[in-house]
């Protein structure tokens, strides 16, 4: 399930977007100013950001520029009320992936969201292989040397989150957010427990993990 950050200060539009995207099965978080958007975009590990241009505190262009400068690669769809060509060009130059002009139809926005997500998640194949393991995202199954490995649904989600962000360190808060959800009450020790269990299932040497690597003082990284 993709996670979408909606940045929109007009309550009616924000609510409409939220309802609509949730109905499509996405996880949605709404923020209404540029400052919060910039912060949440970096800490929340979203799959997509829908960013309005005219925002209190910090405009959409500035937020976009800031995020790209910080190295964030999350796709961004800009919402522009302006039909001015220069604005669209500027948005794309600043690193936005697409734009939708207000007023837009829910149908149009949904199509754009799907297209952008398909593009950005295309790098993860239906079956992802590493070592003697393969993750079948279609069947929610992990196989090792061809035989199914029993994973709990949390373990599967955790593994997926790490594989999706392979090569990147995710701290425990980010993992809790991604796997357990942002309003969870579990402690970050739970993450460690699940990582340990996962290692036993997919690593040949669980004590010296080759794929689910600990980065001291920071978190975990998937190398595969
Ligand atoms: Ca606005």
The more confidently predicted of residues 201 and 95 is 201
Considering the domain architecture, whether residues 51 and 148 belong to the same structural domain is answered as no
- Give the pLDDT confidence of 164-223 residue by residue, as tens digits: 877 778 899 889 988 988 777 888 899 999 999 999 999 999 999 999 999 888 899 998
What is the three-class DSSP state of 56? coil
* Ligand 1 center from residue 52 Cα (angstroms): 6
Rank 5-19, 118-132, 182-196 by mean pLDDT and report only the highest.
Answer: 5-19
Two tokens at 192?
């460690």
Q: What pLDDT is attached to residue 46?
A: 93
In a shared domain, residues 107 and 192: no
Residue 46 sits in a domain of what CATH number? 3.40.50.2300
Cβ burial of 170 (10 Å; 0-12, 13-18, 19+) is: buried
Q: What is the pLDDT of residue 122?
A: 58
Looking at the structure, tell me whether residues 25 and 77 fall in a common domain. Answer: yes
Q: Are residues 170 and 82 in the same domain?
A: no
- 7-30 in b/e burial notation, b at 16+ Cβ within 10 A? bbbbeebbeebbebbeeeebbbbb
The total number of structural domains that make up the chain: 2
The verdict on 136 and 189 lying in the same domain is yes
Q: Identify the pLDDT of residue 208.
A: 94
pLDDT in tens, 30-66: 999 999 999 999 988 899 999 999 999 999 999 999 9
The CA dihedral of 176, 182, 183, 186, to the nearest 10 degrees, is: 0
Q: Is 188:115 a contact under the CB 8 Å cutoff?
A: no
pLDDT digits (tens, 9 = 90+) for 96-107: 888 898 889 988
CA 133/CA 152 separation, integer angstroms: 16
Boundary of a domain, candidates 70, 92, 120: 120
Q: Which of 62, 97, 120 is at the close of a domain?
A: 120
Instruction: Say which CATH number the domain at 173 has.
Output: 1.10.10.10
Are 11 and 100 contained in the same domain?
yes
Q: Which range, of 2-16, 57-71, 107-121, averages the lowest pLDDT?
A: 107-121
- Classified as helix, coil or strand, 2 is coil
Q: What does DSSP assign to residue 54?
A: S
How confident is the model over 109-123, as a mean pLDDT? 81
Mark whether 153 and 205 lie in a shared domain. Answer: yes
Examine the domain organization and report whether 36 and 109 are in the same domain: yes
Residues 112 and 12 in one domain: yes
Residue after which a domain boundary falls, among 120, 140, 168: 120
Parent domain of 200: 127-222
Find the 63 Cα to ligand 1 centroid distance in Å.
13
Whether residues 111 and 8 fall in one domain: yes
Cα(32) to centroid(ligand 1), Å = 8
- The more confidently predicted of residues 121 and 60 is 60
DSSP states along 155-186: HHHHHHHHHHTTTS-B-HHHHIIIII-TT---
Q: How many CB atoms lie within 10 A of CB 71?
A: 8
CA of 10 from ligand 1 middle (Å) equals 6
Task: Verify that 115 and 186 share a domain, yes or no.
Answer: no
Domain co-membership, 84 together with 139: no
| Residue 82, pLDDT above cutoff 80 | no
Question: Residue 206 Cα, ligand 1 centroid: separation in angstroms?
Answer: 50
In the reported structure, the alpha carbon of residue 33 is separated from the centroid of ligand 1 by a whole-number distance in angstroms of: 9
pLDDT at 33: 97
């Amino acid at each position: 399930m993709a996670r979408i950050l909606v940045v929109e200060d007009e309550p009616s539009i924000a609510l409409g977007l939220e309802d609509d995207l949730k109905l499509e099965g996405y996880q949605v978080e709404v923020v209404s100013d540029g400052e919060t958007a910039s912060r949440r975009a970096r800490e929340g590990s979203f799959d997509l950001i829908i960013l309005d241009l005219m925002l209190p505190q910090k405009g959409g262009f500035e937020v976009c520029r800031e995020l790209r400068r910080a190295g964030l690669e999350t796709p961004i769809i800009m919402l522009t009320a302006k039909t001015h060509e220069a604005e669209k060009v500027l948005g794309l130059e600043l690193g936005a992936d697409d734009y939708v002009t207000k007023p837009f139809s829910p149908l149009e926005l949904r199509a754009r969201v799907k297209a952008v997500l398909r593009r950005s998640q295309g790098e993860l194949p239906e079956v992802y292989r590493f070592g003697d393991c393969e993750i079948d995202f279609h069947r929610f199954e992990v196989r090792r040397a061809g035989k199914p490995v029993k994973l709990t649904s949390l373990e599967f989600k955790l593994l997926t989150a790490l594989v999706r962000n392979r090569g990147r360190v995710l701290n425990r808060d980010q993992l809790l957010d991604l796997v357990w959800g942002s309003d969870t009450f579990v402690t970050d020790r739970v993450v460690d427990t699940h990582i340990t269990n996962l290692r036993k299932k997919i690593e040949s040497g669980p004590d010296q993990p080759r794929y689910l690597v600990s980065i001291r003082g920071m978190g975990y990284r998937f190398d595969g």
